[in-house]
Structure 1
């Protein structure tokens, strides 16, 4: 379909911008990284209506600045053949073709949390294997077969490497090798690449053998002290990979690259969101429940400190913010929560919050008794008072449900579950006593302030939690385009990105 591989390679090396197609695009985290580096977006395939609209709004706006209609349409990849999709996005022309395909097939069936939920729903210990979302990578590979890109990038959760005892990373590489692609995969953590979030993900990069390129993953630019839970989760994900690779003659797995000894420290939560204006309406009883709009603009607070990361978020090329920004909205919660948020210390999780809640509840019972009113345990009045002080979740079963962020560390992983609640990311400022806002979540995921999210608060949180951090996408894009000999746009020279060139190919930097 369209030009052959050799023609595409020649066109790229002659300076043409690589043409990018994003499958399972979400709102466009990977696309933003690649477009910033010098690619042209053909479009994306995304089932979620809000994410599809956000993608169109940011990368394919109409003449009046609204989301482009044909790009904003949600699409099920199972209902769209590659040729048909290109004809739709290109208005009938498929002559130029696709140079790079990126995307992350949906991951609920691969994650341990997702598997548990599916087992609960279907009452079957291996229900996750029968979730159709677990096989959508097959359709991704079908697009590769039909469109023959020069290169591709696939992203997913680490547990794709240990899915019911099967390493899907190897299975995907076997299929790609049959299509003449050289493959490699590894686990990368976004915090090592300047993202203020400890987010571990599987990345697979494949380059067509005609390029003569052997891709190497980018060297981290930040050193990070990860909690023990991250290393143990990595060991579980890599269990079968490392065991099998001891016997394999050829392995596609690459050890995660390490930062140099002189690497800078991690970008912290305070670096990322410390300049944003405080939100305190809920403390003055001015907060109201209901839909939170994301398009309402508010001015920056010029009196608050600005970090290098903040400047990047405000001045990202093509997504600059001027004197105001949007999406700085958060949830309306309860007095019980605000009381606990104020008392929690940085790093405190749900068991600690529960302990504090029980302490406050006992103090309230005691003060009620001193006032001459006795509440009998087991009575409706006692239960009502307890609900006003104590969250209902078992602290032995939900240790990670709540967490107060530490201002001096990167945040923990943002999940799509943010669309339902944000107790996993309680703001470090005890005076504000709240969870993060949509814009703060975007900052922690490295979306610039000029990036727009369609829908209201909950869809906004979900889109961000589902995304690939754009800065990590940029690091991979920069490395890949450099290896291919493409003309690279480097808007972030001050970030000191360290690149390792693919063999025999040198980058051309614009």
Structure 2
């Protein structure tokens, strides 16, 4: 069996940079798969998309132990655990990685494509606000070490000398304290011999049932003499005002800058020939209905993420559902796991009474109405307990959420069945109030598997760790379907060399 590793065929003498690129191009000409290294790989959203497009996933560099384990389970299940354990990119040199993986030959000979998304928390407006509050410093985000991790990505490019690169991040990276980091990265890549372009893409336009705006940057080595292009949208959607506003702010930032030579306008997704976006109901309706939490059958802490139950619907599946069940290499056998939900007894009644699209102010009003109704019930025609009584305070605590609707108006949100989901965040690891299930009869927040579906992870994809860790991994990931579209573009570009 022919190995895809590029470990032989190179002369023993010192090679020039051009020699490495020539040998990599010759390797791809011979029909072997491009080898990809995923930096800041998380559980593997980008890796999965690139695997689907025919790339070989050589390894991932990921500091989070649980996420690294998920990546290993799904992409290298037969390798020793330590070979794909967690690694700190700041402490791991490319040559060290090559040695730890047991690869033969020079570092610069091993990888054809580097992909990855440096941590975005330092760039997001939410992350900046949190740092300002914690540090009591309006410019604290500028000193966040995570904002410099893209430089390690560039260091890996310098050492591995790939033919192509793909980088992903939040739109706010285009204006980080007045600096367009994407432009700076392109400048650095240009100095290394790469042609670059970046744009903004929303995953909902590519068959993902989630509105998720991200910056994507592609770099091709100058020896790859083909035009850089981005995927053409396949779906159309009517985005809420906030999403249009976020994109417009980012675009205005770019246009105000005197130099933005690498930026490409996002592809048009308004064509009448495009099919409608995949909705939340399209994505989730065949998954198991979960209602045990509404009765005595539910016991907190007794279920594991690996436990399986049957699908709600085994026939009449739509295209998206079929894809999630039958993704090559991640098929299921009629049973699905990770159907864990948070146990939130105070809030189940509120969830059931919320209307689609309702947010925290509406939820808080519902809870107050429930509280008054329950006060009436416990009084049974007698005097209603006073505000200072223990009965009153206990009932209030058990019924009304304690958050301010002025400070946290968007903390809760009930999904609409007939629309795509809003953006899933890593904050899912702490709570799931941002994605309350659209089915009022289930009256709950989404399960781990439902979050994975909204992010376009197939049902056979396994998540290591407990529920909170799985939610965090999903929220941090690049949607695999979105990744596969970009990977397809890169595969086409590399095929032309």
The TM-score with structure 1 as length reference comes to 0.90
* Residue 489 of structure 2: aligned partner: 479
Q: Which residue of 2 aligns with 1:332?
A: 343
Could you tell me how far 1:301 is from its partner in structure 2? Answer: 3.1
Q: Partner of 1:199 in structure 2?
A: 212
DSSP 3-state at the match of 1:211? coil
Contact 1:173 1:252 in 2 (8 A): yes
Query: What is residue 387 of structure 1 aligned with on the other side?
Result: 397
What is the alpha-carbon distance in structure 2 between the residues aligned to residue 74 and residue 483 of structure 1? Answer: 31
Q: Does residue 456 of structure 1 match 2:466?
A: yes
What's 1:87 paired with? 99
1:342-386 C-alpha deviation (Å, 9 max, x unpaired): 100111111111111122223333445562132223444322222
The answer for the alignment partner of 1:235 in structure 2 is 248
Q: Which residue of 2 aligns with 1:115?
A: 128
Deviation at 1:114, TM superposition (A): 0.8
Q: Structure 2 CA distance, aligned partners of 1:351 and 1:93?
A: 60
In structure 2, the CA distance between the partners of 1:183 and 1:291, relative to structure 1 (3 Å rule), is: farther
Deviations 1:298-343 (A, max 9, x none): 2223456521100000111111111212111111111x31111110
> Shift of the alpha carbon at 1:128?
1.1
Cα gap change, 1:185/1:428 in structure 2, threshold over 3 Å: closer, same or farther? same
The aligned length equals 479
1:27 is aligned to 2:43: yes
C-alpha RMSD of matched pairs (Å): 1.7
Residue 89 of structure 1, CA deviation: 1.4
1:179-213 alpha-carbon deviations (Å, 9 max, x no partner):
11111111111100000000111111101111112
Using the TM superposition, give the Cα deviation of residue 92 of structure 1 relative to its aligned residue in structure 2, in angstroms. 4.6
Q: Tell me if structure 1 keeps the 8 A contact 2:356–2:414.
A: yes
- Once residues 323 and 46 of structure 1 are traced to their aligned partners in structure 2, the CA distance between those partners, rounded to angstroms, is 32
Q: Find the partner of 2:262 among 252, 256, 266.
A: 252
SS at match of 1:290: coil
Is 1:402 the equivalent of 2:412? yes
The CA distance in 2 between the partners of 1:357 and 1:443, in whole Å, is 30
Range 19-28 or range 116-125, more displaced: 116-125
CA distance in 1, matches of 2:412, 2:380: 33
CA distance in 2, matches of 1:54, 1:284: 33
**The one of 87, 112, 123 aligned to 1:99:** 112
SS in 1 for 2:219: strand
Q: Residues of 2 paired with 1:240 and 1:393: CA distance?
A: 34
Of the three residues 151, 170, 191, the one matched with 2:164 is 151
Query: For 2:483 and 2:230, how far apart are their aligned partners in 1?
Result: 12
Structure 1 residue corresponding to 2:76, chosen from 54, 60, 69: 60
Report the equivalent of 1:424: 434
SS of alignment partner, residue 399 of structure 2: coil
Does the 8 A contact of 1:170 with 1:252 survive in 2? yes
- Is 1:282 matched up with 2:289? no
Which residue, out of 134, 140, 155, partners 1:127? 140
Q: Which residue of 2 aligns with 1:495?
A: none
Q: Does 1:10 align with 2:22?
A: no
How far did residue 240 of structure 1 move? 2.2
Give distance in 2, aligned partners of 1:371 and 1:412: 45
Structure 2 unmatched runs, 5+: 1-14
> Structure 2 vs 1, CA of residues 297 and 93 (structure 1 numbering), >3 Å: closer, same or farther?
farther
Taking the aligned partners of 2:417 and 2:97, their CA distance within structure 1 comes to 45
Local SS of the residue matching 1:79: coil
Quick one: structure 1 residues 385 and 239, their matched pair in 2 at CA, closer, same or farther if it must change by over 3 Å? same
CA distance in 2, matches of 1:384, 1:323: 44
CA contact (8 A) 1:291 1:456 kept: no
- Once the two structures are superposed, what CA deviation does each residue of 1:453-476 show, in whole Å capped at 9, x if it has no partner? 111111111110000000000000
Which stretches in structure 1 are left out of the alignment for 5+ residues?
486-504
Once residues 237 and 279 of structure 2 are traced to their aligned partners in structure 1, the CA distance between those partners, rounded to angstroms, is 10
The change in CA–CA distance for 1:474 and 1:303 in structure 2 (over 3 A counts) is: closer
Aligned to 1:45: 61
SS at match of 1:102: strand
Q: CA deviation at 1:71?
A: 3.8
Tell me the CA shift for residue 119 of structure 1. Answer: 1.6
Do structure 1's residue 293 and structure 2's residue 314 form an aligned pair? Answer: no
The alpha carbon displacement at 1:255 in A equals: 0.9
Match of 1:351 among 350, 361, 381: 361
Q: Aligned partners of 1:276 and 1:254: how far apart in 2?
A: 39
Q: Distance in 2 between the 1:72 and 1:440 partners? A: 27
Greater CA deviation, 261-270 or 233-242? 233-242
For 1:371-427, what per-residue CA distance to the aligned partner results, in whole angstroms no more than 9, with x for missing partners? 213222344432222222211111111121111111111100000111110011111
